[in-house]
Structure 1
């Protein structure tokens, strides 16, 4: 079985697809919410290096990728957070650090708020999770209807360097992923218009964010058109007591793809620094 193909585990009745590699401190990677997204699509460039330093788990959140789409499920932040809590407990890890991308960052924030006992450190990348106004970019992502051209336009929104990012190979790969059996049916049921309410449902209050005691690193692309820096990470970093913020210039929403090596250096440095501080 290759890392790309992943494996399956039963998580309280949900057949969950995930990737696992490496050893050491447990690190959970939670993907974003773009059409056709999966853990592999989000983290394929980061997994090899991270697995040299940590015991990495990268699941497909319920409703996404190759994890089950249970009949009758109501997709919500509660469903997604509960799935990740149950995943952590099913794999038998007492504590994990979490890297959450965008929608995955909101899951991470809600998870650490509800179950602080399960979490060591948190890294948020282009993350939502506070009260904010939905951007035109995010509204377009959640309102995607499958076509090659629509996917091409979305990738232009995601990336800073639109010319190189929106190449036909990448567009075709993400488009084909978005039209696999059951993928779009589930996706279109998650964020129906009006979409501001879905963003509101994922948000913690200022008081709840201020109550998070864990070390948190926020990473954001300065030119992010999907989750604008000023509305989200900038404000979250001022509320969480032990939060750091790193902003990448000339970078859109796909930090882990557009700034892969720099992103990895931030993640590894932060986790090791926090680990050292705990043992002093």
Structure 2
């Protein structure tokens, strides 16, 4: 479906229908980039956190379908994409979350649906579990995020990325099931170029730096202490059955901890079904967000 057969197989990812506009806004002195498309109720898309990750690469295949029903706003997290390359050595996570909360305030969004993938989904669920919740969440969709995060070989491919094109191919192989996404050389080169743009690699790799006096700690492989039972927003968990960055069955386990939540697991999908199975994910999201109950 995603390939063209010749005497030597040529791998090509599907073409993108570009419907979004690039926008910038100042958030407390930090230049913040976001994509904007469509009209209607607001839906905010929070992207994943791999090297070279950003709003465009996470959501470009999903935005055309969503923009037919919603006003779609997809910001780049602090340190990612075209947003300011700032890293907080005291608390990267808290700085990123505070920046995103302020972005929503600056955009004057009093209520919105939120969708996150991977890091974006994990952070979204964590904020939704806060009391009180800092985001104006109406309904929530978490794609391949939340729950226990194993520290395995595939995770190491993401964390140990050295900035080479070969390593980018390996990184993509860890997050996708369909090989077209890591064998299409043009796509790999595009993702590689984004990962080595000025400040891009440094802003993410800075999280590795530790004082020799600091205790060894990691957000991966440890217990997940998020109080998911506190989440009051109507929630849908989407996962791929071939996600090698999560444990089998994690989506059902996670949904069981969130009052009224539902889980949908897609066959033959990896960690980013919002990219490799965008049509199916779009249909699930639209049905979930437009359902009366």
Q: TM-score, normalised by structure 2?
A: 0.85
Structure richer in helix, relative to its length: 1
Q: How does 1:113-262 map to 2 (within 5 A)?
A: 113-114=129-130, 115-116=132-133, 118-127=136-145, 129-163=146-180, 165-191=182-208, 197-199=218-220, 203-205=224-226, 208-230=227-249, 232-262=250-280
Aligned to 2:70: 54
Distance 1:191 1:240, change over 3 A: farther
SS at match of 1:6: strand
| Post-superposition CA distance 1:47-81 (Å, at most 9, x none) | 12111111111000001011012376645221221
2:46 pairs with one of 30, 39, 61? 30
Work out the CA distance in 1 between the residues paired with 2:136 and 2:181: 40
Please identify, of 106-115 and 190-199, the stretch whose mean Cα deviation from structure 2 is larger: 190-199
Which of the pair has more CA radius of gyration?
2
Please identify, of 85-94 and 132-141, the stretch whose mean Cα deviation from structure 2 is larger: 132-141
SS at match of 2:65: helix
| Post-superposition CA distance 1:215-269 (Å, at most 9, x none) | 1100001001123343x42321110012100001111112012111111000000
Indicate yes or no: 2:59 matched with 1:43.
Answer: yes
Any gaps of 5 or more consecutive residues in structure 2? 1-17
Aligned to 2:24: 8
| Post-superposition CA distance 1:155-210 (Å, at most 9, x none) | 112211225642111111111111111110111112558996224799443xx111
Distance 1:210 1:104, change over 3 A: same
Distance 1:4 1:121, change over 3 A: closer
Q: How does 1:102-121 map to 2 (within 5 A)?
A: 102-114=118-130, 115-116=132-133, 118-121=136-139
CA-based RMSD = 2.3
Report how many aligned residue pairs link the two structures: 270
